[in-house]
């Protein structure tokens, strides 16, 4: 009965003229009022001594807002082709791998959450300990104490509720025996700040080639075409020189807009810039 009355009241509410033109601002104002009401409700709980419930309510709201924030950012990133997305730095890749280990994600799940491919994650793991590793810690870990310090700080970051005793016990299960006082001293230290990424040296102009109509932009490329035996022959001098009879050189010209082959030219030896220019002039004519 109450529900029917409320529905009747909604139907009988008078609406201003052209209300649909301001509906977006109305939605924003309603959400703003909801935020004020939620803050007032948490303040009421705190004043009545129910601090834990108010804290849980704040954390639940924060989690929901962060999920929506990540969804919006992820939707924008998903519209960018994988080859054109900004690359992660070596420190960011290491942070992703640490989060993967803490979450227990598979390669596919990690790739989905960070908008990379499965092969990219496998490549990071395969080259983790190589000299040209794709992973790097925020601070150099060249000694064992540095490794212990980094491990303790990461455990505290991922599990804020753990104290120094629990962290020492977890490390002991992993074969690392340190005292709780040592863990406490490490936790009191300020963690090293992640260095800011180096500013991009580009001028900000895109290097993409854009063609708006046919014959706006042409591509020209020279390619060495080997004979059936490849670049190798039984006589050594001719095997070292990329020219006839080992191979010939071909110039291909393609229209960037229509992808149409505009022409080609064949050379017995590697063409000079003058020969390429002359061949392109003939194609234009």
- Entry field: residues in the chain: 285
Q: Are 283 and 261 in contact (CB under 8 A)?
A: no
Q: What share of the chain is helix, strand, coil (3-state, %, to 5)?
A: 55, 10, 40
Tens-place pLDDT, residues 44-60: 888 988 888 888 888 88
Q: Are 216 and 254 in contact (CB under 8 A)?
A: no
DSSP character at residue 285? -
Helix (H, G, I), strand (E, B) or coil at 283: helix
pTM score of the predicted model: 0.51
Tens digits of pLDDT across the chain (285 residues): 445 555 555 566 676 677 677 777 777 777 888 888 888 888 888 898 888 888 888 888 888 888 888 888 888 888 888 777 888 888 888 888 888 888 888 888 888 888 888 888 888 888 777 766 678 777 766 666 777 787 888 788 777 778 888 888 888 887 788 888 888 888 888 766 655 555 544 444 545 777 888 888 888 888 888 776 555 555 555 555 667 777 788 999 998 888 888 899 988 888 888 899 999 888 887
How far is residue 141's CA from residue 267's CA, in Å, rounded to a whole number?
56
Q: Are 117 and 111 in contact (CB under 8 A)?
A: yes
Which residues are within 8 A (CB) of 113 and not within 5 positions of it... i.e. 6 or more apart? 105
* pLDDT for the residue numbered 179: 84
Tens-place pLDDT, residues 181-209: 888 888 888 766 655 555 544 444 545 77
Both tokens of residue 168? 């020492």
C-alpha torsion 53→59→62→64, nearest 10: -80
């Amino acid at each position: 009965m109450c529900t029917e009355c409320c529905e009747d009241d909604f139907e009988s509410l008078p609406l201003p003229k052209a209300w649909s033109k301001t509906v977006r601002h109305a939605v924003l104002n309603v959400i703003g009022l909801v935020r004020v009401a939620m803050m007032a409700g948490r303040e009421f709980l705190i004043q009545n001594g129910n601090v834990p419930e108010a804290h849980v309510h704040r954390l639940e709201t924060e989690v929901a807002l962060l999920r929506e924030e990540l969804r919006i950012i992820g939707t924008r990133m998903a519209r960018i082709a994988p080859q054109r997305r900004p690359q992660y730095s070596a420190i960011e890749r290491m942070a992703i791998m640490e989060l993967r280990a803490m979450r227990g994600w598979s390669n596919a799940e990690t790739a989905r959450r960070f908008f990379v491919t499965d092969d990219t994650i496998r490549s990071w793991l395969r080259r983790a300990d190589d000299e040209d590793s794709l992973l790097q810690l925020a601070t150099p870990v060249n000694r064992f104490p540095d490794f212990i310090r980094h491990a303790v700080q990461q455990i505290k970051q991922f599990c804020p509720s753990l104290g120094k005793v629990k962290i020492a016990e977890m490390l002991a299960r992993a074969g690392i025996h340190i005292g709780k006082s040592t863990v406490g001293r490490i936790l009191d230290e300020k963690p090293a700040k992640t260095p800011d990424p180096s500013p991009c040296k580009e001028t900000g102009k895109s290097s993409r080639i854009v063609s708006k109509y046919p014959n706006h932009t042409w591509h020209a490329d020279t390619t060495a075409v080997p004979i059936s035996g490849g670049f190798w022959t039984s006589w050594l001098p001719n095997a070292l020189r990329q020219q006839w009879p080992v191979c010939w050189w071909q110039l291909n010209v393609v229209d960037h807009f229509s992808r149409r082959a505009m022409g080609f030219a064949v050379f017995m030896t590697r063409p000079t810039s003058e020969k390429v220019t002359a061949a392109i002039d003939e194609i234009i004519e």
